Amino acid sequence: MNQKVQSVLNLFEEINKVPRKSKNEEKIAKWLVNWAEKNGFKAHTDEVMNVLIEVPATPGYENKPVLVFQGHMDMVCEKTPESKHDFSKDPIKHVFHGDWLKADGTTLGADNGIALALAMVIATDKSVIHPPLELLFTIDEETGLTGANYLKPGWLKGKVLLNLDSEDEGVFTVGCAGGRDTKIEFKPEWKPYCADRVVMELKVSGLSGGHSGVDIRLQRGNANQILARVLDTVNQSAPVKIGDINGGSAHNAIPRDAVCVIGIKKDDVEKAEKIVKDLAEKIKQEFSKTDPNLAVALTAKKGFEGLMMTSGDSAKFIDMMMSMPHGVAAMSNDIEGLVETSSNFATIKNNEGVVTILSSQRSSVMSRLDWMTRKVEKSAGVAGAVAKSGNGYPSWEPNMKSRLLAKCVAIYEKMYNVKPVVEVIHAGLECGIIGSKNEGMDMISYGPTIKNPHSPDEKMFVPSLDKIWDFTVELLKSYCQE
């Protein structure tokens, strides 16, 4: 392993000691500012805690164009059911499996902590020749690209931006989908638990999950969708009352687990158990390749004495779940193999009697993003729920004549004797927003190979980081030699 890369991994481990869950970036923002000041760099923060660090050029290259390194400081905090990890205080534990770096039962946070570490080591390594640099680290990318949306036009001096938030080494991303979230609130009538009902827990677990953008094409199971399917099937023959329901963890993660507390009449319990058992076998077979560890279980729930939805409202909510869109809605007609439009039935949360569904829609065609969002909103009407959609973020239109792209392709091909892949992705990147706020910005996105982001199976291929380091060093040098 390149010693420089070891320095990047060491700094990444330090970053992973600082809590940085989306919407809780206070500590990591302060840590970054302190790091900048210790290294003699000017650091700026804005009203939402985005951090901008100015790094002087290598002596002799002060008049070269300013380059911007950009990444986001927050991470998706997912863990295995058995993990006791507390993301508000516990360090992420690094575990090596050969050439792969993982975490111990949690997301690794290489998305996007490795971007911070890479840019910071480059900034402090005296052997790296570079023009003036700006390190832009944004907040809350994972739950709405909040930091990028709050950036003020003119805050950046640089007109060339290197986004380090891609996850396949040897691939340059030059465009991405736009996105929008929809929040649905359902306020059912709740009544005290009746003793004539047997309380049971229906649980869907063990799914593969993954990123709701880049992994949506894999057609993995959605725990919320499967929970709805089982509830609906049971409800047809053994009417249920919903006592509690929760599923999924984040708007941009395909749900891995979902659970529902239900009340069933005593005479219907045996029937319900058989329905669930038979349907579970069919569903497991359907997803045997994509979700081999999928489990569906109906078990007795002891100690429940809370409220339950009325039978009517339980049925309405199940109907709404069943009508929620999920998965690929359209493929691109311009780029082979690219998902154009999709939706993710992301989370279900019961909070003090108000049950909330969150859906995340994506499309590289903004008119179709409007259409898919409207479909989700209409699903709320099935149950008389209230839907509210956010403004979302724009797609990043690719510029295949980009000077930066041409330079990156030429350097990569010269270094590795192979042409890199140039692609547009079905996921949200901050480049679209940053470009809309900074006219004339030339942008590209790349990074080391990261598998299974947004899940506890997240892992980074360390040798790919070696190549990213060497490539980036050559790219910076090329701007100094112009």
Whether 201 and 237 have beta carbons less than 8 Å apart is answered as no
Quote the CA–CA distance of 425 and 432 in Å, as a whole number: 12
- Which two three-digit tokens encode residue 9? 């991994």
Kindly name the residue from 25, 74, 167, 215 that is annotated as catalytic. Answer: 74
If residue 197 lies in a helix (H) or strand (E), which one and from where to where?
A: strand 197-205
Whether 364 and 176 have beta carbons less than 8 Å apart is answered as yes
Kindly name the residue from 134, 141, 168, 244 that is annotated as catalytic. Answer: 141
Amino acid at residue number 439: E
Whether 113 and 445 have beta carbons less than 8 Å apart is answered as no
Return the closest-CA partner of residue 207 out of 481, 456, 466. Answer: 456
- Residue 169 annotated to the active site: no
Residue 374 burial (10 A CB sphere; 0-12, 13-18, 19+): middle
Helices (H), 39-171: 110-124, 146-150
CA 139 to chain centroid, in Å, comes to 13
DSSP, collapsed to helix, strand or coil, labels residue 481 as coil
Whether 182 and 358 have beta carbons less than 8 Å apart is answered as yes
Strands (E), 257-404: 258-265, 295-300, 307-309, 327-331, 339-351, 354-363, 386-389
Query: At which residue do the structure tokens 């991405």 appear?
Result: 176
Residues in contact with 101: Cβ distance below 8 Å, sequence separation at least 6, in sequence order: 9, 94, 95, 108, 110, 459, 460, 462
- Which two three-digit tokens encode residue 467? 């190549």
If residue 471 lies in a helix (H) or strand (E), which one and from where to where?
A: helix 462-480
- Residue 270 annotated to the active site: no
Return the closest-CA partner of residue 323 out of 248, 370, 383, 243. Answer: 383
Q: Which residues are catalytic?
A: 74, 141
